[in-house]
Chains A and B, each alone.
Chain A
């Protein structure tokens, strides 16, 4: 199947390309950008006049809820959400039930995802069995099964000796370790940033020190073990500063931020909006500004959706009792564009945070439109404005703090391996 995407503004961060080009797809791969390859005859022509053509998005944190939580969401519903969001590759954290700690589970997940053929799924394996923080998983076998990194998801790893061993072992094999920094004692029972809103609303707080103490521990051990450490969902100004300092010391550390935390703060909780009950908690406006600055200057490498579909009943509770998380796959592109517009960041630079850079973190060959690359493409209208309507989302989780928000930028087509898997109505 030969596809000709014509007259689009091609934005490809890896190749530093931002200009009007035609894209030619032959045999599921990019055959040419610019002039047609010799003898090219299109089976399908996509008119991208007035639209942008970019590599398919790569989301490094999207919970698909399988296995174990099918009542919250299914692979099918969430992969459809991914396609609608222009996301062609996604990494899923291991906090399923059971946790992704056995090669069989990983193979099953990859197999089911492949059959649906809506997006590429890259599982993140459990670092310890059952995410219990006690015994290491068989990382080599899990890697052979398809795991791209190892993580505790949101489960604590309080035993620093286990953490050290896990990092040493992963470093031996050249695997990266993905951790969300949170001291479990300081965060105990907490549901919101320990600041003025928690004080006003009487919500149990999670102090910034819960993040910085855990970060200091992780960075110290990362330095000692030379492991490739990836910090997930940084949330505070002080946390960004620690990462910045570690990077300048040459410690091998990378970092991501959830799109929610780029745009929202504790203030959005208002009168107990359970959709703003997130992990990590939304922090102060000052913290949010520091996250934006850190993303801009490269301290933070990638933006993720932190997609967490929650069933409706689990959100219909008072703030503390409501399950944490927000759906996100369909909002990753517009919220990245929103940040770029507000921060004055050129599209080429901004889109690298959801294509090239997450691909590098995962060590996968996607995220660009080079000749010969997999033809994973997102075609979007950068000027289209639309209003988020939670009930209209493809994801089974309708839980979003952005319900009713005006968004700019809308996906028109998503191509996975040279096949249109989503087309806007």
Chain B
């Protein structure tokens, strides 16, 4: 079973998942991202000509403003031409298959596709079917993976905590349906975090999740005890309809991150969230806006990390 995101020389051809992504490539991306951020002059990102003359297509089969925008900014900061395609679900109802759509886009001479799709494995599928010179970045496929989110989270953790080898990290919330959580788990274990925890009720945990290398907790007091990093997940409203949870209120009471629960973690623990947040559902506003929150830094770092991914893909394919 070869890894479809690496080229023959072990360089990065596509970014589809953080699973099996070699640590050296992760570090290379994080290091490259750092060069784009002038950390002294408060988070200002310079424009560079690395992708001059290249075209990046944002192909979103699932609606997203935030992720698409950060990819757009990242591509533009690299001087690429950007095309945004919000295909939504309407195109499939018109009868065009995903493959037809991909073939059409290939014919428009893209250099890079940034894809989001509601089906797990969609990014792998597209990567298997694009012309060999095109790079695919997975911007979220079903419940499977959201690697750029995980990488920007790793950047943020490294920025605040410097070293991964002595950290306790807790991921809190709907692990079952979360592509973010899966990608975070793989990235954290790849970078050598000794203890990754997941905290959720059993209805929001996938079967055999411990096989991914995490410790499972159902109680916030126990799960958050002495952690260095708290990664919160967004709770979708539809979970209440699928009988996964009784109500948002009860969820907040048990698993919502409040100042009281945050106190179980280390005093210098940081709080992260991939956004968009449901205040009062998974996180209390006082925590989201509090001193330990680094949520807005994540957004800025996200642009630099996405730039770094694009630059690595273009550079890596030449090796």
Contacts and interface: CB of A to CB of B under 8 A. Distances in A.
Interface stretch (A139-147, A165-173, A196-204): A196-204
Contacts of B1: 270-271
Contacts of A272: 120-121, 124-125
A258 B141 CA distance: 31
B121 A199 contact: no
A414 B142 CA distance: 47
Interface stretch (B66-74, B77-85, B205-213, B218-226): B205-213
A316 B209 CA distance: 29
Contacts of A205: 206-207
A422 interface: no
Interface in B92-120: 97-99, 117, 119-120
A198 B206 contact: yes
Chain A at the B interface: SS class: loop
Contacts of A195: 207-208
Given A198-B206, A204-B143, A319-B121, 15 more contacts: A196-B207, A199-B208, A199-B211, A200-B212, A202-B120, A202-B144, A202-B182, A203-B143, A271-B124, A272-B125, A313-B99, A317-B97, A318-B117, A318-B142, A319-B120
B207 A207 contact: yes
Contacts of B212: 199-200
B284 interface: no
Contacts of A204: 143
B211 to A, nearest CB: 5
A194 B19 contact: no
B179 interface: yes
Interface in A294-332: 313, 316-321
A70 B143 CA distance: 34
**Chain B CB within 10 Å, residue with most, of A203, A313, A318:** A318
Nearest to B123: A318
14 contacts: A199-B209, A201-B144, A202-B145, A202-B179, A203-B121, A203-B143, A207-B207, A270-B1, A272-B120, A272-B121, A318-B117, A319-B119, A319-B125, A320-B142
A283 to B, nearest CB: 12
B122 interface: yes
B245 to A, nearest CB: 18
Contact of B125 (A198, A199, A202, A317): A317
For the complex of A and B, the 5 pairs showing the least CB-CB separation, nearest first, are A202-B143, A272-B121, A202-B144, A318-B119, A199-B206
Contact of A202 (B97, B99, B129, B142): B142
Contact of A318 (B19, B120, B145, B182): B120
Contact of B121 (A196, A207, A313, A318): A318
B146 to A, nearest CB: 10
Contacts of A202: 120, 141-145, 179, 182
B11 interface: no
A200 B122 CA distance: 15
B22 interface: no
A342 B216 CA distance: 39
A195 B4 CA distance: 23
Contacts of A320: 119-121, 142
Interface string A256-293: 00000000000000111000000000000000000000
Contacts of A270: 1
Contacts of A199: 206-209, 211-212
Nearest to B92: A321
Contacts of A317: 97-99, 119, 125
Contacts of B19: 200
**Chain A CB within 10 Å, residue with most, of B19, B120, B125, B142:** B120
A198 B122 CA distance: 15
Contacts of B143: 202-204
Interface string A150-194: 000000000000000000000000000000000000000000001
A264 to B, nearest CB: 14
Contacts of A321: 98, 119
A313 B97 contact: yes
Interface string A199-217: 1111111010000000000
Contact of B211 (A196, A313, A319): A196
A287 to B, nearest CB: 14
Nearest to A191: B120
Nearest to B2: A271
A203 B206 CA distance: 10
A210 to B, nearest CB: 13
A204 B1 CA distance: 22
Contacts of A200: 19, 182, 212
A216 to B, nearest CB: 21
A313 B100 CA distance: 10
B243 to A, nearest CB: 10
A94 B117 CA distance: 35
A271 B4 contact: yes
B223 to A, nearest CB: 19
A322 B49 CA distance: 41
Contacts of A318: 98, 117, 119-122, 124-125, 141-142
A319 B143 CA distance: 12
A348 to B, nearest CB: 37
A198 B207 contact: yes
